[in-house]
Amino acid sequence: MGFFQKIKEGLTKTRDSMVKNFEGMLNSFTKIDEELFEELEEILIMSDVGVSTSSTICKKLREKVKETGTTDPSEVKNLLKGIITEMMSGGEELNISTKPSVILVIGVNGVGKTTTIGKMSADLKRRGKKVLLGAADTFRAAAIEQLGVWAERAGVEMVKHTEGADPAAVVFDSITAGKARGADVILCDTAGRLHNKKNLMDELAKISRVIEREAPDCDKEVLLVLDATTGQNAVNQAKQFQAVAGLTGIVLTKLDGTARGGVVIAIKEELGIPIKYIGVGEQIDDLQPFNAADFVEALFDGNQPEAGDTR
């Protein structure tokens, strides 16, 4: 199954909820008026796009309708697709041009963080990168073991200490080993305790200092893994982590299990943090690099855009 098909299938629940409601609403109108915009905004809010982002989308749509002179409600869909694609575009590519580059992955327990790291390492290996995993979530022996299973499944090496070891020491050893072994990407797991606990944030700050000291000239990504099924709570989590962790990107998991996929739009618009990956299934290749045009096309129509078509 191709990348686009996976995204299309993974967005089925959101498409069946948000887009079918939207299309049904458009079919009930014979002209574009304020009532149409109000109903659209309500549908977007109900799909976890968020109040602020929904309002922004409708404002841009009003401007686009006026600019293009559009009068037919059936043409609103393509205008909306173009607006959302533009809002979500930018920054999707991982910044990993140096050798090595460091990716720090954070997130609360239960969002699929360790699984995401395993799938991400498999994707990077498919791209020809030599990947080294650092098991810096040392507070749960199960996390180290789980990451080891994924390392084996993805065919990559891993650095680990024992349960309870200093996470920053694991990151230090991972960077040292990555340099010695010629790794392209050093991918580090971190503890997944609650985001409002000061000791976790202090720990992340300590890890960041180690990375800055040991790999000062390396590209660095700090990715937050969020569970799409939590809807607007995911946005709130991202806001709290962004305040202390300097996020460079979001990985949104479990999109295939929710009708709340509209939260993808809210995260990018409200926080200005690019989406790097989306998870659309359980298999090792079901974590997909994010592409705004593909995402919007799969969400609204399920028809793969032609090459070069960014709408």
- Of residues 310 and 27, which shows the higher confidence score? 27
Feature table: binding site for GTP: 107-114, 189-193, 253-256
Reported as a single tens digit per residue, the pLDDT across 292-307 is 998 898 888 756 555 4
Name the burial class of residue 183, with classes exposed (0-12), middle (13-18) and buried (19+) by CB atoms within 10 angstroms of its CB: buried
C-alpha to C-alpha distances, 299 to 69, 72, 89, 181, 195, nearest whole angstrom: 26, 22, 15, 42, 31
Query: Residue 236: its pLDDT value, please?
Result: 86
Reported as a single tens digit per residue, the pLDDT across 231-240 is 888 888 888 8
* Intervals of CATH 1.20.120.140 along the chain: 3-90
Mean pLDDT of 98-105: 96
Tokens standing for residue 191 = 């503890």
For domain 101-292, which CATH number applies: 3.30.70.370, 3.20.20.70, 3.40.50.300, 3.40.470.10?
A: 3.40.50.300
Q: Tell me if 296 sits within 8 A of 9, measured CB to CB.
A: no
Fold of 3-90: Four Helix Bundle (Hemerythrin (Met), subunit A) (1.20.120)
* Total residues found in the chain within this entry: 311
Give CA 222 to chain center in angstroms. Answer: 12
Query: What percent of the chain has pLDDT above 70?
Result: 94
Reported as a single tens digit per residue, the pLDDT across 27-63 is 999 999 999 999 999 999 988 888 999 999 999 999 9
| 134: helix, strand or coil | strand
Query: What pLDDT band is residue 185 in, cutting at 50, 70 and 90?
Result: very high
Query: Residue 15: its pLDDT value, please?
Result: 82
114, pLDDT greater than 80 = yes
Query: What pLDDT band is residue 75 in, cutting at 50, 70 and 90?
Result: very high
**Cα torsion 192, 195, 196, 201: sign:** positive
- Of residues 150 and 199, which shows the higher confidence score? 150
From the list 227, 242, 253, the residue with the least C-alpha distance to 195 is 242
CA distance 151 to 8: 28
Q: How many CB atoms lie within 10 A of CB 182?
A: 10
From the list 66, 69, 76, 65, the residue with the least C-alpha distance to 28 is 76
- Of residues 155 and 308, which shows the higher confidence score? 155
Mean pLDDT of 171-176: 97
Query: What percent of the chain has pLDDT above 90?
Result: 55
Mean pLDDT of 80-103: 95
From the list 296, 303, 298, the residue with the least C-alpha distance to 79 is 296
Tokens standing for residue 293 = 């045009």
Least confident of 28-42, 63-77, 272-286: 272-286
In the DSSP assignment, the letter for residue 305 is P
Query: Residue 304: its pLDDT value, please?
Result: 56
Query: What pLDDT band is residue 4 in, cutting at 50, 70 and 90?
Result: confident
From the list 63, 101, 107, the residue with the least C-alpha distance to 82 is 63
From the list 117, 91, 122, 92, the residue with the least C-alpha distance to 103 is 117
- Of residues 253 and 140, which shows the higher confidence score? 253
103, pLDDT greater than 80 = yes
* Intervals of CATH 3.40.50.300 along the chain: 101-292
CA distance 311 to 305: 9
In the DSSP assignment, the letter for residue 284 is T
Mean pLDDT of 172-189: 97
CA distance 141 to 158: 15
Query: What pLDDT band is residue 308 in, cutting at 50, 70 and 90?
Result: very low
193, pLDDT greater than 70 = no
Least confident of 97-101, 187-191, 296-300: 296-300
Feature table: binding site: 107-114, 189-193, 253-256
310, pLDDT greater than 60 = no
